[in-house]
Chains A and B, each alone.
Chain A
Amino acid sequence: MGAGMTRFMRRAQETGKELAWEASRAALESCELTLDAVDAVCLTSAPDAFDGVHMKGEYLSDGAGAFGRPFIRTYVGGGSGVFTAIQGWYTVASGMADVVLVVAEEKMSSTQPHPQAAFLTIFDNVLERPLGPNLLWIFALEMNRYMSAYGLDKRDIAAVAVKNKRNAADHPAALLGRSDITVEDVLASETLAWPVQRLDVSPVSDGAVALVLASEEAAERITDRPVWIQGVGWNLDTAYWTNRDLVFPEYVRNAARAAYAMAGVTEPRKQIHIAEPYDPFDYKELHHLEGLMLFDPGTAPEAARDGVLNRDGDLPSCPSGGLLGVGNPIAAAGLMKVAELFWQLRGEAGARQVPGSPERGVAQAWGDLMQVGTVVVLGNEGGPPTTATRLPDSPTPPASTPGHPLTEAEFRGATGAVEDAVDARYAWDAGVAISRFLGGLREGRILGRECRGCERVLVPPRMFCERCFRGTDAWVEVEPTGVVQTFSICHVSWDMKPLETPEIPAVIAIDGSSGGFLHVLGEVDPQEVRVGMAVEAVWKPVAERTGSILDIAYFRPVRGGAP
């Protein structure tokens, strides 16, 4: 029925709940409703650690209009924004509510020294954090895997960053719109974690977005020009991210299949006119377009290069400007994509309007530990046969974009600002399987667990198989050798400080197993590392081993092994 958003800002003067209210009010005003009309509220916001506010949903609830109403907050990482629209949909579809306010808010600027700190614990506390990972590792490792598998040219991927920042120049809420940016600018930007460079990445931001959803009956009362949610889907892959081939987002395809089936979409490439895939990094947009079955695996980059994804191209992708251009207040960024489809399908996107009156679009987000896909299909057709006269396509006034950005100096000097650190410390148990695995490392052995259900040897080992959902059967020793599945050359620490010596994180597929794990490479020139390179564990001296993932000092190329 309606949509609204704040500006996306590096630092907002508004508190989180003030941002939520600004967006919610704009959404209600856009369809001439007041809060009285709202039956239920669905909210999302990313980890509590960003704000240091435990039960952040409760904190934000008044700004989302939840006073005296059924209210729920959900969270699936980066996938949250699109998921909240799905949740709003089933809150209506279940008959629970006729009118639902869907709100997504994020305020990342409170987190010091850098919001990345809040992400560190998404890595396994026992097996991965001792290696000193940062969030960029995951993206760099996935990007390299994607590029290596298809022999992709970084220039074609950089074209996505260029397109989105140019598109965002037409968005009144955008943080990083730039109409004059070129591929050369992206390729010349600072290398953070090769192959990821500064301009491949979306900016941390503050902001909020809201939508108003309604049942078919309520929609007839509220507007003559509804946009319909035609299909929804979401899907999860294994949380053992080093056990997956990162080259293709299977979970996005699964989610898209569900959403397309509900929407009656059988030929997505023909029936989807406009796409808002999730683009926290430029390669992710391409990866996701392939997961959405809009391009064959490995072919989206050439489409970006050839302009197919441009606003006036054959399949406009991220006409909003996406996360790369508008900004990435995590949960809010996902819902912004759904809002953009709403505006595009109503012909209200102003300077961003895709030509040719698009009739159906798909929005998608991705998150958790890079294994959840959330997909919504929106279209102009749906609902009961309408007898109302459709209004002519006269755009309603452009959405207001409230929000007051603070400069760094204003942020540091703000009256009444409070510094705080949550003084919580943890002791993480290694658990049954990993304790045994670590005991093996102390003895210089890599242990896995055999699952006779799916005939896999699981490394890292677990006492149950997440696919078969049965207890695993036996311990097996595997080789202390493997193959580099993907790698990165990382130049920054978790708090974005430059490293004197670059690190080479890699996912090692362990020989004799169906899996592998994250570690670092050593005794090798970074320029010589290749995907597919055979490597072996270099153990610490026995006396220095403690039963830790660091008992393997690093992996190095097998001498005389395959290049």
Chain B
Amino acid sequence: MIERIARPDEVRRWPGSIPVSHRYTPGVAGQAFLETLRDRGVILGSRCDRCRYTYVPARLFCERCFAELAADVEVGPAGVLRSFAIGFVGVEGEPLESPLTLGLVQLDGADACLLHLVLDHSDEPLEIGRRVEVVVKPAGERTGSILDIEGFRPVEG
């Protein structure tokens, strides 16, 4: 049924792309979260009293019961490392000059975990359950971005 391709040189591949880029604005809750991070250097979450759950970053609604939420809970700056991973290669598979450590951290007062880098842990092995704290850039360098947080740093306690 399917013919053999007698002249393989006739099989052509057509290079192409979908020529789109995107601009994402952070939304109602995202904007409150980022502006507070920029202006005050603190992390805002949203509390749903009915579901007894505090989301981080802040959200406009509770996905469990659909209640409207406000960005009204300050969480952290310290918390507990719930998991971590160490990346040795980049997105194209290239080796990284220095490995990156990613951490999932449950900040004090939050139920949800926040994802960011783990900093300054090279002198001791990391362990799940370790106390860490948020390191925020100096006020003058913050722009209203998740990168206004430099990462998490282990602390005593």
Contacts of B7 in A (CB 8 A): 439
Contact assessment for A432 and B5 in the assembled complex, using a CB-CB cutoff below 8 Å:
yes
Check B20–A406 contact: CB distance below 8 A. no
Q: When chains A and B are docked, how far (Å) is the Cα of A130 from the Cα of B28?
A: 41
Provide the residues of chain A in CB contact with B22, threshold 8 Å: 51-52, 110-112, 419-422
Do the beta carbons of A426 and B16 come within 8 Å of each other?
yes
Q: Which residue of A lies closest to B38 (CB)?
A: A415
Residues of chain B from 39 to 91 with CB closer than 8 A to chain A in the complex: 60-61, 63-66, 68
Selected from A411, A464, A547, the residue in CB contact (under 8 A) with B12 is A547
Interface residue A538 (Cβ < 8 Å from any Cβ of B):
no
Assembled-state Cα–Cα distance A62/B62 (Å): 9
Contact B15 A426 (CB under 8 A): yes
> Which of the segments B29-37, B100-108, B111-119, B120-128 contacts the partner chain?
B29-37
The chain B residue sitting closest to A546, CB to CB, is B12
Judge if A55 is at the interface, Cβ distance under 8 Å.
Answer: no
The verdict on A425 contacting chain B, using a C-beta distance below 8 Å, is: yes
CB <8 Å contact, B3 and A118: no
How distant is the Cα of A86 from the Cα of B38 in the complex, in angstroms?
46
CB distance from A227 to the nearest CB of B (A): 23
- Please determine whether A428 and B16 come into contact, CB atoms closer than 8 angstroms: yes
Cα–Cα distance between A18 and B68 once the two chains are bound (Å) = 10
Min CB distance, A377 to chain B, in Å? Answer: 30
What residues of chain A lie closer than 8 Å to B28, measured between beta carbons?
Answer: 13-15, 18, 404
Contact of A36 with B65 at beta-carbon distance under 8 Å, contacts A415-B26, A419-B21 already known: yes
B16 A411 Cβ-Cβ under 8 A: no
Q: Is the CB of A547 within 8 A of B144?
A: no
A63 on the interface (CB 8 Å rule)? yes
Interface residues of A in 426-462 (CB under 8 A from B): 426-430, 432, 435-436, 438-439
A contact residues, range: 35 or more
Q: When A65-B66, A121-B18, A415-B35 are in contact, do A428 and B13 touch as well, CB less than 8 Å?
A: yes
Number of interface residues of B (CB under 8 A): 39
A-side contacts of B65, CB under 8 Å: 34-36
A222 within 8 A of B: no
A464 (CB) vs chain B CBs: closest residue:
B1
**Chain B contacts for A13, CB-based, 8 A:** 25, 27-28, 31
Tell me if A117 is interfacial: C-beta within 8 Å of chain B. yes
Closest to A463 in B: B2
Q: Which of B18, B34, B35 has the most CB of A within 10 A?
A: B18
A67 within 8 A of B: yes
Please indicate the chain A residues that have their CB under 8 angstroms from the CB of B1 in the complex: 463-464, 471
Judged by a CB distance under 8 angstroms, whether A308 is at the interface is: no
Listed stretches A20-28, A229-237, A335-343, A515-523; interface member: A20-28
Q: Which one of A18, A34, A49, A428 contacts B29 once the chains associate, using CB atoms below 8 Å?
A: A18
Q: Is A238 an interface residue (CB 8 A)?
A: no
- A415 with B34: CB separation less than 8 A: yes
Please tell me if the beta carbons of A18 and B27 are within 8 angstroms of each other in the complex. yes
- From A15, A51, A110, A429, B13 is in contact (CB under 8 Å) with A429
Query: A67–B63 contact, CB under 8 A?
Result: yes
A68 to B65, CA, bound (A): 11
**Alpha-carbon gap, A118 to B18, bound state (A):** 7
Sampled A-B contacts (12; CB under 8 Å): A13-B27, A14-B60, A15-B28, A21-B60, A49-B20, A52-B22, A63-B63, A415-B144, A426-B15, A427-B14, A429-B11, A463-B2
Identify the A interface with B (CB < 8 A).
Answer: 11, 13-15, 17-18, 21, 24-25, 28, 34-36, 49, 51-52, 62-63, 65, 67-68, 109-113, 117-118, 120-121, 125-126, 129-130, 404, 406, 411, 414-422, 424-430, 432, 435-436, 438-439, 463-464, 471, 547-548
